[in-house]
Structure 1
Amino acid sequence: WWSFELLVLLSGLLANPKLEASVLSICLNTASLTFMIPFGLGAAISTRVSNELGAGRPEAARLATRVTMVLGLVTGVSLGLIMISVRNLWGYAYSNEKEVVEYIARMMPLLSVSIIFDDMQCVLSGVVRGCGLQRIGACVNLSAYYLVGIPAALCFAFVFHLGGMVLI
């Protein structure tokens, strides 16, 4: 969560800080909203995998994982398609400024792809927790966000001058 907030703060250093921070906040709010479904799937698969492994049924745990991954993928793709289809309207839920609404519409396809991958990350984190490997999951997630994600976003935004589009 803090990694996203850090990116919103850093968006204030871009060329048009008011627009960039506003749009990035809206996009991250949208991502948080869509995150709730895969978060529930992650919690469910964590419980299911731990119960199946505890009962000595690794094949059942594997099957439950596959089913939940498919559900996560279908959910992510569905949410992504919905976001793309309402991209020209979504900004009006947050702002009546045309510039903000148009920028959000341009960011929605990228946000949609991000939603798909974030859904899968959430489901797979639940699997890792269910296997009792919380430390490994935490290290992977922290490394992905703080050692790879933030530096890459900052590099693209400030070194290659791609702006707020790459901060989501």
Structure 2
Amino acid sequence: MPDSQLSTSIIAMCQNTEAISYMITYGFAVVITTRVSNELGAWNIANDRKALTVSLALSLMLGVAFLLLLGLGHDLWVRLFTISEAVVSAFASMTSLLIGSVVLDST
């Protein structure tokens, strides 16, 4: 690699971004699982279906919102990590790949 410091910075930012998106998603999944299992344990099938439907809709909206924020606000996001213009421009070129990676890994 011609500039290993730049590459390392980009890889670290991409890993941190994916880790944050997964932490939010997994935390939400734990809440959903607990809610649905409580409803099943209480034999509230109607409430269970409602909780499942609401949780699926919320998780879809959360995923779309995260991807839109990352796609549209990648300059603001990268500024949280660095002030280097070289890293900012390199991250801008990697944003579409990062979004694709998050989408493919979350399905």
Q: What is the TM-score when the length of structure 2 is the normalising length?
A: 0.77
Letter in 1 for 2:53: R
CA deviation string 1:10-52 (max 9, x = no partner):
xxxxx24332221111112122233343233212111111112
Q: Which runs of 5+ in 2 are unaligned?
A: none
- How far 1:117 sits from its partner (Å)? 5.3
Q: What is the TM-score when the length of structure 1 is the normalising length?
A: 0.53
What is aligned with 1:20? 7
What pairs with 1:7-156 in structure 2 (closer than 5 Å)? Answer: 15-16=1-2, 17-116=4-103
Q: Equivalent residue of 1:104, what SS?
A: helix
The alignment of Structure 1 onto Structure 2 pairs a total of residues equal to: 106
Distance change >3 Å, CA 64–CA 81, structure 1 → 2: same
Q: Equivalent residue of 1:96, what SS?
A: coil
Letter in 1 for 2:65: S
Distance change >3 Å, CA 114–CA 59, structure 1 → 2: farther
Q: Which runs of 5+ in 1 are unaligned?
A: 1-14, 122-168
Letter in 1 for 2:68: L
| Deviating more after overlay: 33-42 vs 21-30 | 33-42
